Structure 1
C-alpha cells in the first residue's frame, strides 16, 4: 500500500513504528509510519491492527 508523506517526526532511526499523537499530533494513533534515516522524514502507511490494539508493530 502507498506510504503518504507525513509531518510525523522520525523516532529511533530507519524503520517502522506506530504513531503516538500524544507525542506529536501528526503521528496518528493506530497508524504505522516509516522513517527514512537519510532524510529524517516519515511517511504514513495508514491503520495497522496491532498499532490500534497495543501501540506496537506486534502485540
Structure 2
C-alpha cells in the first residue's frame, strides 16, 4: 500500500459520481433493506378487523 502523504485515499474518487447517480444509488440501497409486505388473505384481514373492533370496545 502506498503511504504517500499527498494521497487522499478514497476521497479522490468521490468527484466522479454525479449527484443524480449518488441519489439513485442511495435509493437503491434503501430499497434493498426494506422488508416485503406480507400477503394477507381475507380471513387474516377479517381477523385483524375483529381484533381492532374488540379493542375499541374494551378501551372505553
Q: Which TM-score tier does this pair reach, normalised by the shorter chain?
A: under 0.3
Larger strand proportion, structure 1 or 2? 1
Q: Which of 1 and 2 has greater Rg? A: 2
Q: TM-score, normalization: structure 2?
A: 0.18
Higher RCO, Cα 8 Å, sep 6+: 1
Larger helix proportion, structure 1 or 2? 2
